Amino acid sequence: MKTIVMVFLLTCLTAGVHAQEKYLKDKEATEALSKDVAELFKENKYPEAFKELSAYWPLPQSELQELEDKTSKYQDMIGQRFGKAIGTLKVSEQTISDIAIKEVYLVRYENSAIRLIFTYYRNNNGWVVNAFKWDDNFGEEFK
């Protein structure tokens, strides 16, 4: 009985360490996820955006929560500094063969914009979120 309880507890703990639960099927699915997250950022729905990402991101839950907390902390500053959100725009997409995709979106505000960078990696099961970051350095997108 103790062995069964221990196996059950270890299984539960291991399942809770990583947030990822699903895999994206194809490139179109990565594009849809990026677009959805950009729209959620525009609407200041950061918890929902990170929930969408977490299903496909093999990052430990504690690290994901820390990133979400830092983002939420800047919510008021973004509104005060950049003004009202007015839209989203896909800026670029790059690929490395058929194993990696990088998509860059802008969330446009009245006075400036923030950049969202999504990186996806294809493993044996499908596509996963490999990295996500946001910043206000959209000027780096000029070529």
Domains detected in the chain: 23-136 (3.10.450)
For residues 63 and 84, give the distance between their C-alpha atoms in angstroms, rounded to a whole number: 29
Which of 97, 102, 93, 108 has the alpha carbon at shortest distance from 39?
A: 108
Per-residue pLDDT tens for 30-58?
999 999 999 999 999 999 999 999 999 98
pTM (predicted TM-score) = 0.82
Question: Sign of the C-alpha dihedral, residues 69, 74, 79, 80?
Answer: positive
Q: Say what the pLDDT of residue 20 is.
A: 61
Which of 122, 132, 135 has the alpha carbon at shortest distance from 29?
A: 122
Mean pLDDT (the chain, rounded): 85
